[in-house]
Structure 1
Amino acid sequence: MTSSASLRRDLADELAKRGQLTDPAWRSAVEAVPRDAFLDATVFRPNGTQWEPVRRDQLGESEWLRMVYSNTTWVTQVDGASATDASGPLPGRPTSSSTLPSLVLRMVELGDIRDGHRVLEIGTGTGYSTAILCHRLGDKSVYSVEYDEGLAATAAQHLHAAGHSPHLVVGDGLRGHQDGADYDAVIATCAVRTIPPSWLWQLRDGGSITTTISGWMLASGLIRLALNEEGVASGRFAGDTVSYMLARPHERPPRPTFYPHPGTSRRTQMAPELLDDWTGLFVAQLAAPSAELVRTGDGIALVDVATGSQAWTEPDGNGWTVHQDGPLRLWDQVEDALITWQQAGSPDQTTFGMTVTEWDQTVWLGDPSGPHWRLPV
């Protein structure tokens, strides 16, 4: 029967072929930490529009282990319902998962985590990424905050069973954890709409924040921000096409069912398909940060949850018409930003950067003096 140890070595080989694990200490962590010990006996996998529970005893041990050690994200909770408790497929949105190992390692490698660092992890999840950090840094140097009490308790069991005793905190990770400060690095395994000021306050000078910036259109950008002695954090986006679930306090508020309002109409200057592009959607989200994106079949709709403003597109001959209603002209905002991006040559996310202070947060194109958009604070 295939063993967990051999599958860990295979996983390390796979990640190394991707250009990861160039630091032997991280390879050692992947080979040592048993991912199967951080998953209970059931996970969810997608099945159409639902999430289907997959049980260890039904698959058999060998197939289960091969599944666990694939470079895949395994969903463990949907809308707060644990896979272990699910009697059948569930609709809804994932609210916790075991992140694919390549992304776990990408975060710590991008964060430039080194021996001797004290790290604050936002989002303990199953505890697997916490154990990876513990193996490299030692338990006393790892602080991990989990918002969900049930997930935190399960992760603690997993970690202790694996022989690790990091500092585990139940609470709002957006507040950080002052008792462990000052940190050399903050690593977030959830996405945020804006950088919480507490993360800045709890970093030492020269410390870093590695996170994904996301929003209610669910666009995403991975970035490492370095803090200077003046209290300003800045950095460029890495360009990886990866995403995390939004931190629960930053999640989208409930929105009524979209009903199109005629409003005012005009021809668009560009096709809505531009928002299918990874960076195009990111730019649109910067321009309309409180709007959600709804796919309508023929086109798209933008609905602003703060004001009720909406914009929706429909085919019009060889082009598109947009209808806009409410105090915000959402499509105008998005179109202006997309035109600016196109005029710069439609570069990928590595051309974008971000500057964060206690009072202001901006994403800029090219350099800090170039076109920029303020994040909600």
Structure 2
Amino acid sequence: MNAHETPRGSFRSLADRIAESGSLTDPAWRAAVEDVPREVFLGNDVYRMNGSRWEPVHRADVGEEEWRRLAHSDITWVTQVEGIDAADAPGPLAGRPTSSATLPSLVVRTLDVAGVREGDRVLEVGTGTGYSTAVLCHRLGDTNVTSVEYDTGVAERAAAHLRTAGYEPTLVTGDGLEGYSDGAEYDAVVATCSVRHIPRAWLWQVRAGGSITTTLNGWMMASGLIRLTLDSAGVATGRFLGDQISYMLARPHERPPRPTFHRLPGDVRTSRVAPGLLDDWTGHFVAQLAAPSAELWTSRTGVVLADVATGSQAWTESNRDGWSVHQNGPLRLWDQVETALLTWQAAGAPEQSAFGMTITDEAQTVWLGAPDGPSWRLPL
């Protein structure tokens, strides 16, 4: 029996919980959450965090009742860590998740932000397990949905899940950053992965007046959800929504491998801002805009920045007067971050919804307040 034959409302309790969070206000998306059988898209194996490691959980071991409970939870279930599927894991693993079954509330929030409506033709970037693809198909119909997945194995499993659930969208295995020109033009591009900048192919494949909805992310792992609208001149603009959400970075935009970090001697001065500003969701985002090729992590003495491109580094430590910062290399990373944070503070330290973005053929720029306000160019 496929999803189109199951009784309506099998996931009504999940829809109720999402509605309580405020992420499910459109009746059409609620109907999709109630009807799409999420347990089909979990497959038979997932990971869950146990301490500092990812522990594989197998359907055969936990039983059907527990598996249904997992599927009915508004939780992201990781399905792959460092390229290793949960089914193939020899035991608990350390590392970064590389594929997941995204929590349903994030799926419907993203689609709601995208403004997708009946009759729209949508390009989804990042098929994943296929759940979000099925939600789109439920509302738009199979022929209006095209979905691209980078990972061959993930794509094959998603296709099987969708067939089992009774959906037949156009599925493509390839680099979603290139879009899918054979299906263009689209009314909307919706990405269930994050990007460091907006791929030009998405702009070329969306109709004038169409939209692009994605999370802008980077190597500091700060994130912002945005919906951009393309005008007749090919310029895309939009504002960030302020939601504190994130998706995994698209694999071609991932950080390159970094060697073991060693602090190097360099210039030392007193910082004009406290590193704790980077604990704020928007402060973190501003820091990433200022030093887009740097990674960030915390240490017992404060924060550490290391630039992937140049090897430049900066790290903080407390002193009697506040904070000292050590900087080494051709880029003064903390100078860049500090200046941006002071600009943000001078504007009243607003939330991320005060930021917007403009894309032209020449540049992609994130601005504060208005397009002619303080701005930062994204790396292309």
Query: TM-score scaled to structure 1, two decimals?
Result: 0.97
Q: Using the alignment, how far apart are the partners of 2:60 and 2:7 within structure 1?
A: 16
Alignment of 1:146 with 2:149, yes or no, is: yes
CA distance in 1, matches of 2:260, 2:10: 46
CA separation in 1, counterparts of 2:91 and 2:7?
28
Query: Paired residue for 2:190, among 187, 204, 209?
Result: 187
1:76 aligns with 2:79: yes
Is 1:123 the counterpart of 2:130? The answer is no
Paired residue type of 1:24: P
Q: Give the AA of the match of 1:295.
A: T
Is the counterpart of residue 305 in structure 1 residue 308 in structure 2? yes
Q: 1:165 aligned to 2:168? A: yes
- Judge conservation of contact 2:9–2:35 (CA < 8 Å) in 1: no
Runs of 4 or more consecutive aligned structure 1 residues displaced over 3 Å after TM superposition: 3-7
- The percentage of counterpart residues that share the same residue type is 66
Q: Larger deviation: 335-344 or 79-88?
A: 79-88
Alignment of 1:91 onto 2:89: no
Equivalent runs, 1:252-291 vs 2, <5 Å: 252-291=255-294
Q: Which residue of 2 aligns with 1:32?
A: 35
Is structure 2 residue 339 aligned with structure 1 residue 361? no
Q: Which amino acid aligns with 1:335?
A: E
Q: CA deviation at 1:250?
A: 0.3
Alpha-carbon displacement from aligned partner over 1:301-344 (angstroms, at most 9, x marks no partner): 11111011111111112411111111100000000000000000
CA shift, 1:359, in A, is 2.1
Which ranges in structure 1 are unaligned for 5 or more consecutive residues?
Answer: none
* Partner residue of 2:376 out of 366, 373, 377: 373
Query: What residue identity is the alignment partner of 1:262?
Result: P
User: Does the CA-based 8 Å contact 2:219-2:293 persist in structure 1?
Assistant: yes
The Cα shift of 1:23 comes to: 2.2
Match of 1:244 among 223, 227, 247: 247
Gaps of 5+ in 2: 1-5
Residue of structure 2 in register with 1:325 after alignment: 328
For residues 92 and 158 of structure 1, the distance between their equivalents in structure 2, rounded to whole angstroms, comes to 26
Matching residue of 2:105: 102
Retained in 1: the 8 A contact 2:24–2:109? no
| CA–CA distance in structure 2, aligned partners of residues 218 and 23 of structure 1 | 30
In 1, the alpha carbon distance for the partners of 2:264 and 2:333 equals 13
* CA distance in structure 1 between the aligned counterparts of 2:311 and 2:342, rounded to whole angstroms: 25
CA distance in 2, matches of 1:255, 1:7: 46
Which residue of 208, 211, 228 maps to 1:205? 208
Deviation, 1:358, is: 2.5
Preserved contact between residue 40 and residue 84 of structure 1 (Cα < 8 Å): no
AA paired with 2:317? E
Q: C-alpha separation between the residues in 2 aligned to 1:7 and 1:92?
A: 35
Tell me the CA shift for residue 7 of structure 1.
5.2
TM-score, normalised with respect to structure 2: 0.97
Counterpart of 2:296, as a letter, is L
* Secondary structure in 1 matching 2:11: helix
Hey, what does 1:337 align to over in structure 2? 340
1:135 to 2:138 alignment: yes
State the 1:170 CA deviation: 0.6
Change (3 A) 1:313 1:7: farther
Distance 1:4 1:96 in 2: 30
Partner SS for 1:22: coil
Kindly state the Cα deviation for residue 58 of structure 1 after the two structures are TM-superposed.
2.1
Alignment deviations for residues 60-92 of structure 1 (CA, whole Å, 9 cap, x no partner): 211221111111000000000000111310111
Q: How many residues align?
A: 375
Over aligned residue pairs, what C-alpha RMSD do you find?
Answer: 1.2
Report the residue type matching 2:18 in the other structure.
L
